[in-house]
């Protein structure tokens, strides 16, 4: 899933204010951007999903 970020097309995402606040705080604690934090969470969920399917 490794790709250069500049080759990935932007994806607009709407989220409730409370979810955005949670993601913002989590990203700040981890010293990551919101995009990087969200991508990490999605990759972890995808990995867990694939392990369950195996």
How do residues 22-42 score in pLDDT, each as one tens digit?
A: 999 999 999 999 999 999 999
Checking 1-7 for CB contacts under 8 A at 24+ apart, the result is 1/43
Instruction: Please state the rounded mean pLDDT for residues 6-28.
Output: 93
Checking 40-44 for CB contacts under 8 A at 24+ apart, the result is 43/1
HSE-CB for 34 with a 13 A CA cutoff:
9
Question: Where are the chain's structural domains?
Answer: 15-53
Instruction: Please state the rounded mean pLDDT for residues 3-27.
Output: 90
Structure tokens belonging to residue 2: 């490794």
């Amino acid at each position: 899933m490794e790709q250069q970020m500049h080759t990935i097309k932007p994806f607009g995402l709407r989220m409730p204010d409370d979810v955005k606040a949670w993601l913002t705080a989590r990203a700040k604690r981890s010293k990551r951007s919101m995009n990087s934090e969200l991508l990490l969470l999605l990759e972890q969920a995808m990995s867990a999903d694939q392990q369950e399917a195996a």
